[in-house]
A and B are shown apart, each in its own frame.
Chain A
Amino acid sequence: ADDKPFDGQTLSVLLPPWGTLPKDMTDQFTADTGISLDGQTLGWDEIRTKIVTSMIANTAPASAVEIDWSWVGQFGAAGWFQPLDGLVDAAAIKDAPTAKIFVYDGAQLAVPYNNDFRILIYNKAHLKQAGISAPPTTPNEMLEAARTIKAEGIADYPIGLPLSATEGSATAWYLLTKAFGGDLFDADFNPLFTTPDSAGYKAMAFEIEALNEGLISPAATGLKDVDIQELFKNGQTSFDVAGWAGSISVYEDPEKSTVAGDAALALMISTTGTPRSFGLPEAVGIPSNAKNPGAAAAFIDWIQTAETQIGAYHSLGNLPPRLSVLETLNTAGELKDGDILLEQAAFAEPLFAQGTPGWYPEFSAAVASNLNLAAKGQISVQEAVDRIADQATAAMQ
């Protein structure tokens, strides 16, 4: 009975569809621990609305709840989640590099259940047709490759980047900022992207130039990240620049993609030679006033097990957060371009070294919206970065 301390409890879990594990796995969990799961599934925007509404009303929406990396600052500041230190398996946390992102004020607020980081995905066939032997490693090489592909008439708009006023466009810009060898903020959160020689500025200029040159679809100003993925699946773009590591499995699925067999991974382009990337993981935490935190901790531990993570990879395509698990999968040959994936994974850092700040959502909305304006030609790159900086500073107050 001791190994089933929470026998008979019902644990409520709030996760998005891609965090919702199949029934046979959760049944196993119930069998092992005696905890029955009461799963709630909500879309991503909706989960946030739900958490905020209920936490402001001082009730936990569930005992184990989704936390996106971008919410850490806010939820941490609000004190809505319990520190997990001591509650869950520390070794497993250590094994997951992206777990650091969920540390707020020294406390581990949540444990990641997927390991999405950015990686370059390209269409092998397109490159081959254009006579390009290797994927680009620098921004310039990418532009060159794209021009060739466009000139050959293989794809009208070879580069896939979202430029709509949505979160996905903002994260792509962050990634390119890193590719251009810089960071968004310094240690004191002073904006680093406002001067023309800054990486952030160059990254935005790169996007606008590619757009103006017709390398990015003009439609991108209205496309979300998922729409860009559709274009890639459809063979209309050659590069999914801000590709999600998990997307490769969809691209390679002939049921859903016309380019199955042609999609391949490459290290992120970079001006410095270091293929920098960052992780955008999602995690599970325990709200501060959760009904049964013990059972929730048991659930989190279960999520961290290699078995569960492998199961989740197979059923949902979630890349395992734990390096050791990734390696196991790669060894078993179950990862497409696994070596590259693992190599890139090692370079995945948090977007904010200090931890995601509470004003991040305002900042990212400002990025997305102003980037979108710049892409539509309504403001210049300089104006865009200045406005972003201004709004970031305002949001920090």
Chain B
Amino acid sequence: MNTIREKLWPLPKLKASLLGWGYVAPALLIMGALVLWPLASTIWDSFYSVNPMKVGKPFVGLDNYINLLSDPNVRQAWSNTFLYVLFTVVIETVLGVSAALLLNKVKFGRSWLLAALILPWCLPPVVNAIVWGWIFNPSYGVLNNALLSMGVISENKVWFNERLSALFMISVVHAWRMMPLTAIIILAALQSIPKELYEAAKLDGAGAIKMFRKITLPLIASGLAIALSQSTVFAFNMFDEAWIMNGTGYDTRSVMIQVYMSAFQNLKFSYGMALSIMAMLASLIISAVYVLRVYRETRFD
């Protein structure tokens, strides 16, 4: 009986399949030509030594990658970047979840509040950097001024004098821009929780904190996983904020700044590219961990 099926159905199936390919063809063409091919080319180059100041393009195998492991600057950059990831992910998550909880509560003027919330994320990053550079300015910045006039500090504070505070400040700026994304993702997750669950929990005897811990948190876990992976990828690609606020300073140099310096300042092109590929892989792997561990296990529909 299988034969009837084979005889009658190949055509429409093939047709549907072809149409499917036709629909995705433009997307694949553009992605292939403008992203995947260049990526492949960069990966290829990272096994060579491409340095315009030297003649030729010798094959060096994994040397670039091996050298990266022993480069103290690179190690510092990695450690800074991991701190950025830690800080921004924590800040974005804590603030994002709080903002989402708040928005979920607010009924009056919610759409305006939402507009205000996502505003920072909509601004061009260049403008973002200008605004914050001006706010953090150690001499005339509004932050120092405000803290001074409130009596929190007694003299102008130099925000970038200590490594952790510098990393933290830069993370705050980055988080300022990216937090709305987390908030929106969490808000979506919150809104998909049936309100009866909270009512049932109330009748079961739960207070606000218990409800958050026992109901809300587990049920937004899959949203959190997505938010976390987003935050992570963006934190790994941290460049603008750190570069504009603190230049090449060791304390705040991110992996992407190191990539830029190696490739575009020191002209050690393949060395820089090898590093950028490692950064990409690292962010993909960490995201995959969230998504596979948290997201997969916490979908309940």
Contact = CB atoms under 8 A, between A and B. Distances in A.
7 contacts: A49-B260, A79-B52, A164-B160, A164-B249, A227-B139, A362-B266, A369-B253
Size range of the chain A interface in the assembly: 35 or more
Nearest to B166: A222
Interface stretch (A121-129, A213-221, A259-267, A329-337): A213-221
B275 to A, nearest CB: 15
Nearest to A76: B53
Nearest to B163: A378
B247 A224 contact: yes
Nearest to A166: B247
B156 A55 contact: no
Contact of A227 (B52, B137, B155, B264): B137
A165 B156 CA distance: 19
A271 to B, nearest CB: 30
Contacts of B253: 369
B215 to A, nearest CB: 45
Contacts of A48: 264-265
Contact of B139 (A166, A217, A369): A217
* A52, A79, A230, A372: most-surrounded residue (chain B CB, <10 A): A372
Contacts of A365: 248, 261, 265
A110 interface: no
Interface string A150-168: 0000000000000011110
Contact of B267 (A52, A166, A222): A52
A359 interface: yes
B52 A80 contact: yes
Contacts of A166: 247-248
Pick the most buried of A53, A218, A370: most chain B CB atoms within 10 A of its CB.
A218
Nearest to A217: B139
A350 to B, nearest CB: 20
Contacts of A368: 247-249
Interface in B129-178: 136-140, 155-156, 158-163
B266 A395 contact: yes
Given A222-B136, A362-B266, 11 more contacts: A49-B260, A52-B52, A55-B52, A78-B52, A221-B161, A222-B160, A361-B261, A361-B266, A362-B265, A369-B249, A376-B251
